[in-house]
Structure 1
Amino acid sequence: MSKAARLPIIDISPWLSDDPSNAEARTAVSAALHSACVNYGFFYLDISSYADPAEPEELTTLARKFFDLPQEEKEKIALRNEDNARGYARLKENVTNGKADNHEGIDFYKPVDNPDKTKPLWGTNQWPSVPGFKEKYEAWVEKMKALGMITMHAMAVGLGMTEKEWQDLRSQVDDSFWVMRTIGYPPLPNNHDGFSCGAHKDYGCLTFLYTDPTKKALQVFMAGAKPEGLQLDEDLPVEQDKDGFWINADPVPGCVVCNIGEMWDIWTNGLYRATLHRVVHRGTNYRIPFFFEPNFTAHVRPLDAALRIQKSGKDHGGGTGTDKKPVVYGDFLLAKVGNNFDKY
């Protein structure tokens, strides 16, 4: 399979209205999403017609104000105060593949009924005391939740789902158990045994990452041998790996970096690939990923539309041909989050 050095850029604007004159453009967007999910699991989503760039910039300003606070002030909203999932994680508290990640962050999850901090994931979000932080971040949550539903619908069309099939899928994500992080990256020390964030796949549906201007930080793994004749930009080197190669997903103005999570891998029986990625951050900056996830109680199983494609033999994507086992998303998430943080 031929791969380019740069991930595809997909403009979501045709899906922002129901104007019948946009029908052809919407179909083209859906086809592009399908291709990107089969071949990469990653793409740039152009949201310049959906969100004012000043909004996420303001979020990074607020993040900077928080991360610049004295450590004892930041610890007032530490993970240990709640359910060990919601709140502030100090530098190197987040762990990937058994190694400490060189970043600090704050994690927020969908608010739950009858919160109980003794139950994993079932606590209350802890918000910084920085003026305007909570209001601005909650507004971004609502905007990203809406974008998640729009993108899911566009993907359903690209996958060839019927209207009824889409409505069935929609009912599994219409109360998304979303997650949002704000992450502060100091420069990665040369002697650090690990990464700014180690190689991993995301758990759920869609990740919308508002990234900082730092280049060569987010790296995406492409399985297989480097395609012959692959031409690289000077700012986009490829690092060879024994099982594939890494490319940089550098920031593109007006875009969020979007990738699919492991639930899409199950929904499509491996047709769509949840792709490994990592962060090697040499700057001092802030990133805001929003994770649009299934409902906590969603029963995730291979979709008929994906099975039809695989049966037709037209496109096998990145899957191995092994049937994916259904999961209940909340159970899957609980098992993953329990290994994310270093314990005191």
Structure 2
Amino acid sequence: MPDNLPIIDPLPYLPASSLLPHIPSLSSTELQARREETAQKIHKACRDIGFFYLKVDSYLSKEEMKEVLELGREFFHRPDGEKESIGLEKSDGVRGYQKLHQNITKGKADHHEGLDLYALSPYSPSEQSSQKVRPLEGPNQWPSQPEMFKPKLERWIEKMKILGWAVMHAMADGLGMKEQEWGELGGMVQDSFWVMRVIGYPPLPNGADGISCGEHKDYGCLTLLHADPIPSSLQVLSRSNEWIDADPIEGCIIVNIGEMWEIWTGGMYPSTLHRVVHRSPTYRVSIPFFYEPNFDAQVKLLKAAERKAEGEGRKVEDRGEVVYGDFLLGKVSGNFKY
């Protein structure tokens, strides 16, 4: 683990009903103290790095963390024809299975295969197109095998949504948001237009042109990444412009912040470049869950971020306003080759 990627416990922000049975509840005094500690750690990590580990062993059992990865591995080892029967072109061009090298980052083919799932279509019935299905308008395509893939991954999605909300709340407290301000920010993510990818990484061949997943920033709020315990694959660009490994830690997931937080904080919370270079002989599976704003959320500089930056003697830059759905559509349109 890189020394500058902290491990943060979100337990004080998780609803008691979501915790594993053996986790005792906190008293109100202890809860408040733990929340303040967690919020400050998250603020520092978001401000200084943009990546951190989230300790989730009070929320996710070892069995369910292992199970979702194994289901992904089993799917990717199904016959090609079976996987391609739920290819992107069978839905809306962005939901479904991508075969090896179909995903594109910065103009280069990535050496992985994947399955992309999104929140339900953001368009109201009156907006539904009678012509060609638009990106994000179609249905998700779930594999029929393995049989438990859909129910187990749907359960994972629900748990990631709860976790994403908890981290957003901690970030709001870390910025010193007033209750009304958190209510407004929370309202922008309560109908999160989430995305989940299940990704399979075969080993990179020697001399490969391109890498497993090219360097990029994520688009939205938060990425909650669960991956096989294989070292030296995920790499993060440090502030000193060096690629450092962000290796998995048992009982933790990896979190990084997306470009919407750069806008909300005027650059105080940077969205960090990262990539995957997977040369291990072991087939690697990862499941990033992207906890995003509502599709119609209007994202702009937060007053709380301005106050926090001023209190720390920092400057922020007003980067204007974007509608998240428009921003997302502009990104996904060039992600694949057909």
Q: TM-score, normalised by structure 2?
A: 0.91
Partner Cα separation in structure 1 for residue 180 and residue 211 of structure 2: 44
Q: 5+ unaligned residues in a row in structure 2: which ranges?
A: 17-25
Alignment pair present for 1:32 and 2:41: yes
Cα RMSD, aligned residues only? 1.4
Say whether the 8 Å CA contact 1:95–1:340 is kept in structure 2: yes
Q: Deviations over 1:297-332 (max 9, x none)?
A: 00000100001123345345xxxx432121000000
| Superposition deviation, residue 54 in structure 1 | 1.3
Partner Cα separation in structure 1 for residue 328 and residue 13 of structure 2: 30
Instruction: Give the alignment partner of residue 178 of structure 2, picking from 162, 169, 175.
Output: 162
Say whether the 8 Å CA contact 2:226–2:253 is kept in structure 1: yes
Q: Secondary structure at the match of 1:259?
A: strand
Partner Cα separation in structure 2 for residue 251 and residue 24 of structure 1: 28
What is the aligned partner in structure 1 of residue 162 from structure 2?
146
Q: Secondary structure at the match of 2:230?
A: coil
After the TM superposition, which segments of 4 or more aligned residues of structure 1 sit over 3 Å from their partners? 113-117
Partner Cα separation in structure 1 for residue 163 and residue 150 of structure 2: 20
Instruction: Give the alignment partner of residue 137 of structure 1, picking from 115, 137, 153.
Output: 153
What is the aligned partner in structure 1 of residue 309 from structure 2?
310
Partner Cα separation in structure 2 for residue 138 and residue 127 of structure 1: 10
| Superposition deviation, residue 19 in structure 1 | 4.1
Q: Deviations over 1:59-103 (max 9, x none)?
A: 111112211111111100000111111000000000001000000
What is the aligned partner in structure 2 of residue 13 from structure 1?
11
Partner Cα separation in structure 2 for residue 292 and residue 53 of structure 1: 22
Instruction: Give the alignment partner of residue 208 of structure 1, picking from 221, 224, 237.
Output: 224
Q: Secondary structure at the match of 1:77?
A: coil
Alignment pair present for 1:58 and 2:74: no
Q: 1:313 to 1:59 in 2, by over 3 A?
A: closer
Q: 1:219 to 1:37 in 2, by over 3 A?
A: same
Partner Cα separation in structure 1 for residue 308 and residue 39 of structure 2: 15
Partner Cα separation in structure 2 for residue 220 and residue 328 of structure 1: 28
Q: Deviations over 1:10-38 (max 9, x none)?
A: 01112224741211111000000000000
Greater mean deviation of Cα atoms: 108-117 or 153-162: 108-117
Partner Cα separation in structure 2 for residue 161 and residue 174 of structure 1: 17
Say whether the 8 Å CA contact 2:52–2:255 is kept in structure 1: yes
Q: Deviations over 1:214-238 (max 9, x none)?
A: 10000000133xxxxxxxxxxxxxx
Say whether the 8 Å CA contact 1:6–1:249 is kept in structure 2: no
Partner Cα separation in structure 1 for residue 212 and residue 79 of structure 2: 21
What is the aligned partner in structure 2 of residue 286 from structure 1?
285
Instruction: Give the alignment partner of residue 118 of structure 1, picking from 130, 133, 138.
Output: 133
Q: TM-score, normalised by structure 1?
A: 0.89
Alignment pair present for 1:330 and 2:325: yes
Alignment pair present for 1:255 and 2:270: no
Say whether the 8 Å CA contact 2:49–2:239 is kept in structure 1: no
What is the aligned partner in structure 1 of residue 196 from structure 2?
180
Q: Secondary structure at the match of 2:238?
A: strand
Listed as ranges, the matches of 1:171-250 within 5 Å are: 171-224=187-240, 244-250=241-247
Q: Deviations over 1:284-304 (max 9, x none)?
A: 121101000000000000100
**How many residues in Structure 1 have an aligned counterpart in Structure 2?**
317
Say whether the 8 Å CA contact 2:164–2:291 is kept in structure 1: yes
What is the aligned partner in structure 2 of residue 127 from structure 1?
142
Say whether the 8 Å CA contact 1:5–1:247 is kept in structure 2: no
| Superposition deviation, residue 111 in structure 1 | 1.3
Partner Cα separation in structure 2 for residue 179 and residue 145 of structure 1: 10
Alignment pair present for 1:340 and 2:335: yes
